[in-house]
Amino acid sequence: MNLLLLDAADFVADDRVLLRDRRLTHLQQVHRAEAGEQLRVGRVGGNMGSGQLLRLDAREAELQVSFDQPPPAKLPVTLLLALPRPKMLRRVLQTVAAMGVPRLVLLNSYRVEKSFWQTPFLEPAAIHEQLILGLEQARDTVLPEVIIEKRFKPFVEDRLPQLAAGTLGLVGHPGDFAHCPRAVTEPVTLAIGPEGGWIPYEVDKLAAAGLQPVQLGERILRVETAVSALLARLF
Amino acid sequence: MNLLLLDAADFVADDRVLLRDRRLTHLQQVHRAEAGEQLRVGRVGGNMGSGQLLRLDAREAELQVSFDQPPPAKLPVTLLLALPRPKMLRRVLQTVAAMGVPRLVLLNSYRVEKSFWQTPFLEPAAIHEQLILGLEQARDTVLPEVIIEKRFKPFVEDRLPQLAAGTLGLVGHPGDFAHCPRAVTEPVTLAIGPEGGWIPYEVDKLAAAGLQPVQLGERILRVETAVSALLARLF
């Protein structure tokens, strides 16, 4: 936790917050904070700044806070991910939030196991929790938008062409394709497939919606690794 | 598992292997393989090729194998990592192997908790297991060399200058430094710090050994994400 992220419910006055949840535990056990200390704080969806720890006891922490810095810029990207397996999903949500992706679409694909859609990690509160962990890690305050699309064809045919309009559309896909470009300056729509990859029908459909296949070399990477590698190469 | 990785003990003849361990379970439960099927195989430290599944029962799988393709090229990099916490270590070892790092140094740092050095995940067999998982993921056969250095100063003063000689030496470090270069053509020695970062003394020592600090933007990334992001940007 490199940033103490505060939401509206934490405020007891404009410049005063009370914490009683895992953030209190973190301050006590990991940070081993003491009264008087200055901590980096951020307001969810707002600015970052600093907080002085006024009081820390077993029950709660009280901080006086001020906010004067904007959060870091987001990447100009919409990321489409075939829904990863639940354990991977949690980490990917953190990575996506940490790297500054502003919009994530979790999409069905032929090779996404049906059971993945039943995971409690797709509940809004569970997604929110992982995104917050990613923002705390990277020092950002702005939650990415997460869109869930359980049907591939209607999304890719009807909604993706508008989402991708005016952007560089790319599909990360192993094979004899152009290498993923580097240091692009325009906004990007990037699709990353499931374990085992998109099937040819899906690659064709994504191409018809304006997303061209690009490769990242011979190695097959896990979804989480591919996400950070492709974003780091693109931006 | 995108590659069935075989070692000397699996061979009952030059072109014949018997599998009885987790690879058998994987073939049965995840791959749902059937006799007659062709599978991608690789020989640890050797070539890749294909294997025909001759027989699969509850007790063992028998394959006829041949090897005709070299494994993918490694990256020209030596990666120095401050020892991550045990859970992260396992994933980082997989990522390092998957991305094609040929040499990894796990190094002490002021911000590495002493207890991390006690983890059973640092046992040679445990390291080997995670590296194999990474190679199976990425389709590679060549195990990275892993060097464990429990003392920062003697390593950085006495051995690092030779390791880094003739390479582009870089330390990933947040702050007002040059941005990490892209698409370099020379070999690289890259150091990535612990959670919380290197302390200034360590950055100075690494610089004296020939490694210059570079940044990857304002965001603080987890070690695993930083590894894949920096490697994807560099190569």
> Measured between CB atoms, which of A2, A221, A228 is closest to B229?
A228
Report which of residues B167 and A29 the model is more confident about: B167
Residue A201 CB-half CA count within 13 A:
6
Contact flag A220-B99 (C-beta cutoff 8 Å): no
Chosen for mutation from A91, A136, A225 (greatest number of chain B CBs closer than 10 Å) is A225
Region B80-88: mean pLDDT is 97
Question: A85 and A158 share a domain?
Answer: yes
CA angle A24, A29, A33 (to 5 degrees): 70
Question: B106 and B135 share a domain?
Answer: yes
Per DSSP, A181 falls in state P
Residue A111 near chain B (CB below 8 Å): no
Question: A96 and A173 share a domain?
Answer: yes
At which residue do the structure tokens 């990474």 appear?
B134
Q: Where among A31, A51, A69 does a domain terminate? A: A69
Question: B198 and B90 share a domain?
Answer: yes
Region B194-215: mean pLDDT is 95
Res B196 pLDDT > 90: no
Per DSSP, A38 falls in state E
Supply the pLDDT for residue A1.
87
Question: A170 and A200 share a domain?
Answer: yes
Question: A111 and A216 share a domain?
Answer: yes
CA angle A174, A175, A178 (to 5 degrees): 95
Give the model confidence (pLDDT) of A142-174 as tens digits: 999 999 999 999 999 999 999 999 999 999 998
Contact flag B95-A217 (C-beta cutoff 8 Å): no
Give the model confidence (pLDDT) of B128-153 as tens digits: 999 999 999 999 999 999 999 999 99
Chosen for mutation from A2, A85, A228 (greatest number of chain B CBs closer than 10 Å) is A228
Is B212 strand, coil or helix?
Answer: strand
Q: What's the domain count of chain A?
A: 2
Chosen for mutation from B225, B230, B231, B234 (greatest number of chain A CBs closer than 10 Å) is B225
Contact A223, A195 (CB under 8 A): yes
Res A136 pLDDT > 90: yes
Question: A193 and A211 share a domain?
Answer: yes
- Angle of helix A86-99 relative to helix B223-234, nearest 10 degrees, comes to 70
Q: Which one, of A110, A97, A197, A104, lies nearest residue A153 by Cα?
A: A110
Res A63 pLDDT > 90: yes
Q: How many helices (H) and strands (E) does chain A have?
A: 7, 13
Res A8 pLDDT > 90: yes
Q: Where among A41, A69, A97 does a domain terminate? A: A69
- Split at pLDDT 50, 70, 90, the class of B175 is confident
Mean pLDDT taken over chain A: 96
Is A220 strand, coil or helix?
Answer: coil
What is the rounded CA–CA span in Å between residue B128 and residue B109? 23
Question: B112 and B225 share a domain?
Answer: yes
Supply the pLDDT for residue A142.
98
Q: Which one, of B108, B80, B113, B22, lies nearest residue B227 by Cα?
A: B80
CA distance A26 to chain B (A): 15
Question: B189 and B226 share a domain?
Answer: yes
Region A189-196: mean pLDDT is 94
Contact B221, A140 (CB under 8 A): no
CATH code (residue A32): 2.40.240.20
Question: A63 and A149 share a domain?
Answer: no
Give the model confidence (pLDDT) of B12-57 as tens digits: 999 999 999 999 999 998 888 999 999 999 999 999 999 999 999 9
Give the model confidence (pLDDT) of B149-158 as tens digits: 999 999 999 9
Minimal-distance CA residue of chain A relative to B224: A225
Supply the pLDDT for residue B229.
97
Supply the pLDDT for residue B5.
97
Per DSSP, A217 falls in state -
- Split at pLDDT 50, 70, 90, the class of B90 is very high
Contact flag A98-B183 (C-beta cutoff 8 Å): no
Is B48 strand, coil or helix?
Answer: strand
Residues of A in contact with B217 (CB under 8 A): 72
Residues of A in contact with B72 (CB under 8 A): 217-219
Chosen for mutation from A88, A136, A222 (greatest number of chain B CBs closer than 10 Å) is A222
Q: Where among B23, B47, B69 does a domain terminate? A: B69
Question: B95 and B134 share a domain?
Answer: yes
Tell me which residue range forms the domain holding B23.
4-69
Q: Is A38 left (phi over 0), alpha (psi -120 to 50) or beta?
A: beta
CA distance B60 to chain A (A): 25
Mean pLDDT taken over chain B: 96
CATH code (residue A131): 3.40.1280.10
Give the model confidence (pLDDT) of A172-189 as tens digits: 998 889 999 999 999 999
Q: How many CB pairs under 8 A join A and B?
A: 81
Supply the pLDDT for residue A195.
87
Contact flag B138-A220 (C-beta cutoff 8 Å): yes
Res A196 pLDDT > 90: no
Per DSSP, B110 falls in state T
Question: B94 and B23 share a domain?
Answer: no
Residue A95 near chain B (CB below 8 Å): yes
Region A131-136: mean pLDDT is 98
> Measured between CB atoms, which of B137, B139, B217 is closest to A218?
B139
